[in-house]
Amino acid sequence: MAVRPTQLRRALLQSPSRLRQTAPNTIQHPELQHLLSAAPSAFSSACPFSSTITTRTQNTPDYAVPNPSRPTHFGFQTVTEAEKVERVATVFTSVAESYDRMNDLMSFGWHRIWKDYFVTSLNPGFSPLTSGLDPRAPQHILDIAGGTGDIAFRMLQTAHVVNGNPDVRVTISDINPAMLTVGKQRSTLLPASQQAALSFVEANAEDLTRTAPLSPPGTRTPAPTSTIPDASVDLYTVAFGIRNFSNIPAALREAYRVLKPGGVFACLEFSKADAHPLLNTLYKEWSFRAIPLIGQLVAGDRDSYQYLVESIEKFPSQAEFRDMIVDAGFVVGGQGYEDLTGGVAAIHKGMKPRV
């Protein structure tokens, strides 16, 4: 649900002293005025905007620069960043055809509800900040690690049909051609107008300056021939993918680079249910005992499913990941995330400040 200016004004009226105490010198900041007067529809109304404006540093820190030889984790194993890229590619090539079934196993089917809610909260195709009277301005959405199209197809349905905005286009980017091929095949069931608004590119989310069009099955992947330019994207989404990246800080900075000022980064990912001990215990028992076994019985692939549950355990907590988003230069609202199903999954959002 979009944040309405009246809701923000009501919140300020209810606690003006608290706002003055926490942000005595930022009320006149143009970015804060912009956030308080007309919040983007891509932010949830459950989280009032924070008063802290974080600007990106000019120099990228070493840990946010991809390094093939730097140690990282692949599940519970320590590998190099280069090795993780190769191993993750093997996992998703293996599960590409059964991707929905995999997510059903890992979320009890809730991933479908979470994805619907995620897209509804972003409300693609409608922006109250658009100059002029019509809020249905053209939008470019970049769906990262979106190979099978689950998020992209929902985005187009909401934008084109619900919001009546045919000027929304979606680029689906994935490092894995097998996942993209599944998405391309599934897209043939979409209306022609939505198919025309889709494009598929092979790219590493940590370096979007090197992209290549999806090649036909059985052919060699072409060399990167294009780039996603600076400040060219209105909305960057990634769902159940970022935990598989070999260098998350690098990917977050690439998201910052390609987004327009005022553009939104939105991530849906498995997270931590630590605040609910019983739920957390039951979910971990299911994850580590049942999912790999079911993967072996149903898909003949225990190792891939074992990695996937381990990758959830290794992913940062909600607060830690929020801090990584802020460190990349984004402004976050409220606590910076929204828990789903007790924290089994979470939505994170950040906005690139307007200069």
Would you say 109 and 208 are in contact if contact means Cβ atoms under 8 Å apart? no
Position 4 in a domain: no
Position 241 in a domain: yes
Position 292 in a domain: yes
Annotated binding site for S-adenosyl-L-methionine: 148, 174, 204-205
Smallest CA-to-CA distance from 159 within 169, 149, 151 is with 169
Position 208 in a domain: yes
pLDDT at 221: 67
- C-alpha 307/C-alpha 230 separation (Å) is 34
Position 3 in a domain: no
pLDDT at 132: 62
Does 52 have pLDDT greater than 50?
no
The reported pTM is 0.81
pLDDT at 137: 86
**Which residue is it, tokens 């019509």?**
134
308's tokens: 């996937």
Would you say 265 and 252 are in contact if contact means Cβ atoms under 8 Å apart? yes
Annotated binding site: 148, 174, 204-205
Residues counted in the chain: 355
Provide mean pLDDT across the span 164-174: 96
How does pLDDT run across 171-187, given as a tens digit for each residue? 999 999 999 999 999 99
Position 156 in a domain: yes
Position 40 in a domain: no
Domain range enclosing 95: 62-351
Position 14 in a domain: no
Would you say 296 and 303 are in contact if contact means Cβ atoms under 8 Å apart? no
Contacts of residue 269, defined as CB under 8 A and 6 or more positions apart, other chains included, come to 238, 239, 240, 241, 242, 243, 315, 321, 345, 346, 348
Indicate which CATH number applies to the domain containing 204: 3.40.50.150
Of 49-63, 150-164, 275-289, give the lowest mean pLDDT range: 49-63
Does 253 have pLDDT greater than 60?
yes
Would you say 264 and 42 are in contact if contact means Cβ atoms under 8 Å apart? yes
Provide the domain count of the chain: 1
